[in-house]
Chains A and B, each alone.
Chain A
Amino acid sequence: MKIGKVLEGIEKLFFSDINDEKKQEKLKEKLLKKIEETKIEIKNSSTDEELRDLKAKLYILKKLLERV
């Protein structure tokens, strides 16, 4: 058993995944960053088609944020 614990320790130290709460926080941050980037792209868009696509993208990103 102790050997198993040593291996678990090595795994945690070098290869550990972050826990669920931290993962959700990270995902929210990613989405918020993407939303801000999309808003900037909307401001800088030149064509109607591009603007429409970016607005649709923004809508989806906000929906995804609600799901987190």
Chain B
Amino acid sequence: MLKKYYHYFFLLTLAVIVFYSSDFKVIIAGIAIFLVGMIFMEDGFKLFSGGVLERALHVSTDTVPKAVAIGIIATSIVQSSSLISIIIISFLSAELITLSGAIGVIFGSNIGSTTTAWIISSLGLEIDIATYAMPMIIFGAVFVFSDTKSYQGVGKILLGLGFVFLGIDYMKDGFEVLQGRFDLSKYALEGYLGVLVYISFGLIATVIMQSSAATMALIITALATNQIIFVNALELAIGANVGTTITAILGAISSNANGKRVALAHFIFNFTAAVVAVVFLYQLMDFTTFLASKIGIADHDYGMKLALFHTVFNTMGVLIISPFTKKFVKYLEMLFIEVNLYALKPLYLDNVVINVPDAAIESIKKETIHLYDSAIEAISHSMFLHRHAFIKNPDLVGAVKNSDMSIDADISKFYTDKVKTLYGEIIHYATLSQENMNEENQNRVYDLKLASREIVEAMKNMRDLQRNIFYYSKSKNSYIKEEYNNLRVYIAKTIDTIEKLKEHVDDLDVITSIELLKEGIKGLDSIKNSRIDTLIRENKIDSKMATSLINDSAFAYDVSQKLIQVATTLWIKDKDIRTLGVQK
């Protein structure tokens, strides 16, 4: 509600400024064009990289220094720290990377995002729009209409760059015209009042524009037209750095625990760097000036000196916080714990992940495991067993046969009320995720969808079995009672074996257990099983019992087969070993 009123207020304020001030209108138009350029560039890199970026982030985060390095490189190339954050949060949610790896990338991304300031100050202010930006926009627009995704990506990047430079040009023009009427530099503030005021301005501007790059563009163009003094520009840059984390925190409010942890890590890091930068502001300013003279930046080139300061203070932040990464991670892991293990709403199907193939597959797999765990609870209860009573129990047979049959569980109702929705969510999510995948990944998702379906069908088969298990448990005929207990033992053994094989690290041990289990349940195949024939011939069971037993043995065999197939799909990581398991 508050967000809606904030938007109306913002739009109204913007309308007033745009219609009553032509100078500010030009600057704001420049910001808008700049932001559109950043969006095009981000989209362009997504299309162009085709999964290379995601793979690079996935494989380069096993140590913090590597993670920082890949964060710097990836953000410098794609020019979007928010894109990197989104990918990292998605990988973290799918547990493809660790929290320390994710934090390392965020640290590196902070440094990498300072390249925007370098680009703006070195090229953006000097570039001849007619010579460079306009051709970029023209050719970018042509490539965008190409058939191939790579060329579309190149087109969007060119369009994006062109709009970024055009936006900077508009901002510069706007400030130059404003300078003629109104000299903002007269209102420059020094000392700690200036620090407080300008850091707040930088923070607020970044929160409003949702982009620290746009704020930096604004600061650099204002600096270039002498609308602000150098020290105030540094303070604005520090504020922008903190402001960008507030944007991330606002975005993480509706995110899962990992999103919140990364957003908080980002805020703590930037806030700490900001505090240190403020305390040593004048010393850092002098150091920047000294470094600038060593690397050939002209003394009057305040734009590039600002870019250098931005890089220096972010690098300083990383150097200060990096030694404490482990403690930092431990602290974050204690926060935002989600306690909803047995709820039947999706736990892992994050929309942020859906366009990142590896992460989407991992999410679907985890959610399918969640579905499996819920189904096993229902299946166990439908056999009047508690899972903890028979799983990993050395006397499983005794536990099953001595259970008291008092559990009141309607598997049909459980399926309709709880499982059906989760199953639907998995299928829907999996289908949408397949749109951006290559054939191999699509096949993997198809296998996971099939596994979900088999879990649900196993539950439906238990529905028919449950009635007769209960009915014949009360029978005075000990033979039929024993046979139905045996059916329960077979299914319980299947569930128990699958629980144990989850602990195997080697896929060959998993598949061996599965193959042994397949051999073990062959006794349920009643048609080939001569035991039932013997019971009929010896009149130990009547014809009604015999037909029930034959049908229910088939259902039980089917349930076990389906659970085994699901285990093959979910717990064998190697595709080739998995394929071995489905062969007869």
Contacts and interface: CB of A to CB of B under 8 A. Distances in A.
Interface of A: 1, 3-4, 7, 10-11, 14-15, 23-24, 27, 30-31, 34, 56-57, 60-61, 63-64, 67-68
Contact of B508 (A61, A63, A67): A61
A30 B55 CA distance: 26
Given A27-B576, A64-B515, A68-B580, A3 B52 contact: no
A3 B515 contact: no
A58 B228 CA distance: 79
**Among the interface residues B48, B150, B508, B519, which one has the most CB atoms of the partner chain A within 10 A?**
B508
B534 interface: no
Interface residues of B, number: 22
B443 interface: no
Interface of B: 48-50, 52, 55-56, 59, 148, 150-151, 154, 506, 508, 511-512, 515-516, 519, 576-577, 580, 583
Contacts of A23: 576
B583 A3 contact: no
Nearest to B514: A60
Contacts of A11: 52
A40 to B, nearest CB: 15
A27 B55 contact: no
A37 to B, nearest CB: 10
Contacts of A3: 48, 150-151, 154
A60 to B, nearest CB: 4
A57 B150 contact: no
A4 B580 contact: no
Given A7-B52, A23-B576, A60-B516, A31 B508 contact: yes
Given A3-B150, A3-B151, A15-B59, 11 more contacts: A3-B154, A4-B148, A7-B50, A15-B52, A27-B577, A27-B580, A34-B506, A34-B508, A56-B516, A60-B516, A64-B512
B157 to A, nearest CB: 11
Nearest to A20: B576
A38 to B, nearest CB: 9
B496 to A, nearest CB: 15
Contacts of A67: 580, 583
A33 to B, nearest CB: 9
Contacts of B55: 14-15
Contacts of B52: 7, 10-11, 15
Given A10-B52, A23-B576, A31-B508, A63 B150 contact: no
B151 A57 contact: no
A34 B511 CA distance: 12
Contacts of A14: 55-56
A45 B50 CA distance: 52
Contacts of A30: 508
